[in-house]
A and B are shown apart, each in its own frame.
Chain A
Amino acid sequence: MKRILVLDDDLDILELVQMALSMNGYSVKTLSRWENLEDTIHDYRPELVLLDVSLGNADGRDLCLKLKTSPATRDIAVVLFSANIEMQKSVATCMADSFLSKPFDLQRLTKTVREALPL
C-alpha cells in the first residue's frame, strides 16, 4: 500500500482525510504537530506528504522546501493544502508537487493525491 503522511493542526480534518484516503486504498498516517515531521518521515517513510500551510507557528511552505532540498526526502511527493487560495502561487517556489484548496470535495482530494501518487 502506498503510504501517505498528513500534517494538519486541525484534528477533524486529519481524521476526515485519513478516512477518505484509506477508503481509496492508501495507508495513511496523521500528524498534528509539525515538530515531529522529520522523525515521523524517518520512521514511516511516506511516499507522499499532504501538508497544511498554516500550522500555527510554522509555515508549511518552509517545511516543504526543507523536505525538497534535503537528499533524504526530496523524492517524497508533497501536496500543499490551504484555505488561502493565494498559497497556490507558492507551489513553484517551495517546490511542492501540487496544491489543494480548502474546503475541498473528497473527490478532488482523491484525484489530486492520485495524480501525485498513482496507486
Chain B
Amino acid sequence: MKNIRDISIRNKLILMQVFTSMLVLGIVFWTFIATEFRAYKTRKKESITSLAQVIAANSISMLQFQDNDAAAKMLGELESVAPDIAVATILDKKGAVLARKVQGDTSRMQLEVSFPIRSNGELLGKIVLSARLSDLSAMKRSLLSMALILTAVAMLASFLIARIVQATLSNRLERLAQVMTEVNRTGDYSRAMEESGEDEIGTLIRNFNSLLQKVKENERRKDEFIGVASHELKTPLTSIKGYLEMLTMMETAQPKKQMVERAFANTKKLEKLIQELLDVSKLQVGHLQLQLSAFDLGELIEEAVTAFRMVSRTHVVVVEGLPKFRRVVADRQRIEQVLLNLLSNAVKYSPGEEKVVVSCEVEQADVVIEVRDLGPGIPPGEEEVIFDRFYRSKEVAEHISGFGLGLYICRDIIQRHNGRIWVESRVRGSAFRFSLPILNSTT
C-alpha cells in the first residue's frame, strides 16, 4: 500500500480538505435526518392520539350498550379520515373485542397508540390504533437523496477550492524542491529563488537562499585558495626546477652531475605531489572541469609513452596492438595525466623488472587502455580500495613515496568521462585498465 508520505503535498492538501468537508457534512446530515425522523414520529403520534381521543369519546355509549354494529360502523369511517390506520380495535374493560377494523397492508405497522375509554372516571375499555408510517420511507428517500446531492456538490466545491488554495502552498514548495534538485545536479549555486511570503515556506526559501549564498562564498574562497596555493607553491618550484634542469645540462663532472640530477628528479616528484593535492581539492568542490575535444587516443598513447621513456631509466615501455578505431571525445590533458600516472605506478611498483606494456583494444562501444607491469601485483582484497583517497598498499607503503592520491584522481577523471577504471591480476603483475566511450567506430 502506498505510504502517506509518498503522496504529494498537493494531493495531501486536496484529500485533507475533501475528507474534512465530507466528515463535517456527514455529521450535519446525520443529525438533521435523525431530528427530522423523531419530529415526524412525534407529530404522527400526537395526531393518532387525538384521533383515539375522539373515537374514545364516541365509543362510551357503544361500550355501555355493547353495540357492536355501531362501533364497527364508526371504525369503518376511519378509512376515509385516516388511511394510515392499519388496525383499529375497541376493547371492553375485560379485554374482549367490541369492534375491530383492519384496512390495507398490516405488515408494516410501526406505531401503536392505546387510549383508555372512561365515563365519569370509570374505565369502560380502550381503543388501540396501529398506524403505518407510510410517509417515513418516502421522507427517508427524499432526505437521503438531498443529503447525497448536497454532499456531492459540497465535495466538488471543496475539491475545487482546495485545488486553488493548495497552489499557494504546494507551488512554492514544488518549485523549491525543483530548484534544490537542479542545484544538486548542476552544482550551480547562483540559482537563488525569489523570496515570497512570511510563512514557513517563505522562511524555508530564505534559508535555502542564504545557504546557497554561503556555499557560493565558500566555493569562491576555495577557488581563491587553490589559485593562491598554486601560485605560491609553484612559483618557487618553477625556479628551482628550471635552474636544476639547466645545471643537469651544463654539469659534466661526476659526482656533481649525479647529485644535481637527483635533486632535479625530486623536484619533479614534489611538483607531482603539489599538483595531486590541488587536483584533490578541486575534485572535492567539484571544480575539476573537463576540456572536451575529439582526438586520436593512439596518438596520445604514443606521445605519453615517448615522454615517459625520456624520464624512465629503469624500465622499457612497450606499446602493443593499437586498434584502428580509437577516436574519443575527452579531456586530452586529463587522459594523458591518467596514462602517465598509471605508467609511473607500473614502474614504481615493479622494482627490479624491466618492462611495462601499454596496449589498447576496442570492446563493444568502448576503447580500453591497459598498462601492465610484471611486479608482485596487487595483494588480494585490495583491488577496489587502492582507488580510495589516501589509500596506500600496506605491503609497499614503507618504501614508496606518495600521498595515495594518484589512483583516486585517475578514477575521478575516468568516471567524469563516463568510463571505468579497474585492476586485473595477471600471472605476473597486474594490469590497470580504463575504458572510454568511442566517439564513432565508423570514422
A83 to B249, CA, bound (A): 24
Binds A, one of B9-17, B173-181, B228-236: B228-236
Does residue B402 face the partner (Cβ distance < 8 Å to A)? no
- Give B245's nearest chain A residue, CB to CB: A106
**What is the bound-complex CA distance between A19 and B291, given in angstroms?**
33
Give the complex CA separation of A54 and B229 in angstroms: 12
Taking CB as reference atom, which chain B residue is nearest A14? B239
Interface status of A25 (Cβ within 8 A of chain B): no
Q: Could you tell me the distance between the alpha carbons of A86 and B275 in the complex, rounded to whole angstroms?
A: 12
Query: Which residue from chain B places its CB closest to the CB of A106 in the assembled complex?
Result: B245
Which residue of the partner chain A has the closest CB to B240? A103
Are B242 and A10 within 8 A (Cβ)?
no
Instruction: Flag B221-255 by CB within 8 Å of A: 1 or 0 each.
Output: 00000110011011111110111011001000000
* Contact yes or no, B234 A103, CB < 8 A: yes
Complex Cα distance A86/B226, Å?
A: 10
Q: Inside 8 A of B267's CB, which chain A residues have their CB?
A: 103
Q: Are A84 and B238 in contact (CB under 8 A)?
A: no
Contact between B238 and A88, CB atoms less than 8 A apart: no
- A-B contacts counted at CB < 8 A amount to 58
The answer on a CB contact under 8 Å between A84 and B230 is yes
- Chain A residues with CB under 8 Å of B333's CB are 88
Q: How many B residues are at the interface, by size bracket? A: 20 to 34
Contacts of A103 in B (CB 8 A): 234, 237-238, 241-242, 267, 271
B242 touches A16 (CB 8 A): yes
What is the bound-complex CA distance between A85 and B230, given in angstroms?
Answer: 8
Instruction: Collect the chain A residues with CB atoms within 8 Å of residue B246's CB.
Output: 16, 19-20, 106
Tell me what chain A mostly uses at the interface: helix, strand, loop, or mixed.
helix
CB distance from A90 to the nearest CB of B (A): 12
User: Which of A19, A83, A86, A104 has the most C-beta atoms of chain B within 10 angstroms of its own C-beta?
Assistant: A83
Interface residues of A in 41-96 (CB under 8 A from B): 54, 82-86, 88-89
Q: How far is B242's CA from A17's CA once the two chains are assembled, in angstroms?
A: 8
Contact of B235 among A10, A17, A85 (CB under 8 A): A10
Q: Within 8 Å CB of B234, what residues of A?
A: 83, 102-103
Shortest CB-to-CB span from A101 to chain B, Å, is: 8
Measured in the bound complex, the distance between the Cα atoms of B291 and A104 in whole Å is 20
Is B231's CB under 8 angstroms from A20's CB?
A: no
Q: Which residue on B lies nearest to A83, using beta carbons? A: B234
Contact with A along B290-329 (1 / 0, CB 8 A): 0100000000000000000000000000000000000000
Cα(A34)–Cα(B71), bound, Å: 134
From A19, A83, A85, A86, contact of B238 by CB (8 A):
A83
Question: Which B residues touch A89, using CB under 8 A?
Answer: 289, 291
Q: A83–B245 contact, CB under 8 A? A: no
The verdict on A115 contacting chain B, using a C-beta distance below 8 Å, is no
Contact of B239 among A12, A85, A86 (CB under 8 A): A12
Q: Tell whether, in the assembled complex, residue A102 and residue B245 are in contact, meaning their CB atoms are under 8 Å apart.
A: no
Chain B residues with Cβ below 8 Å from A10 are 235, 238-239
Chain B residue, CB-CB nearest to A104: B238
A39 proximal to B (CB < 8 A)? no
Q: Are A84 and B231 in contact (CB under 8 A)?
A: yes
Across-interface contacts of B236 in A (CB, < 8 A): 12
Q: CA–CA, A48 to B332, complex, Å?
A: 26
- In the assembled complex, which residues on chain A have CB atoms less than 8 Å from the CB atom of B243? 12, 16
In the assembled complex, the Cα of A74 lies from the Cα of B288 at a distance in Å of: 32
A89 and B223 alpha carbons, distance in the complex (Å): 15
Known A103-B271, A106-B245, A106-B246; judge A13-B230 contact (CB<8 A): no
> Which chain B positions have C-beta within 8 A of A82?
231
Q: Is the CB of B238 within 8 A of A13?
A: yes
Bound CA span A93–B267, Å: 33
Q: Is the CB of A83 within 8 A of B231?
A: yes
Q: Give every chain B residue within 8 A of A104 (Cβ-Cβ).
A: 238, 242
Q: A13-B235, A83-B231 are in contact. Are A20 and B291 (CB under 8 A)?
A: no
Please report the C-alpha to C-alpha distance between residue A17 and residue B243 in the assembled complex, in whole angstroms. 10
A93 and B249 alpha carbons, distance in the complex (Å): 37
A35 at the interface (CB under 8 A from B): no
Given contacts A13-B235, A83-B235, A88-B291, contact A106 B230 (CB under 8 A): no
Q: What are some 5 contacts across the A-B interface (CB < 8 A)?
A: A10-B235, A16-B242, A20-B242, A84-B226, A102-B235
Partner-B contacts on A (CB < 8 A): 10, 12-13, 16-17, 19-20, 54, 82-86, 88-89, 102-106
Having A12-B239, A83-B233, A86-B227, one finds 5 other A-B pairs with CB under 8 Å, namely A10-B239, A16-B239, A83-B235, A103-B241, A106-B242
Q: Which 5 A-B pairs give the minimum distances between C-beta atoms?
A: A83-B234, A12-B239, A103-B238, A16-B242, A84-B230
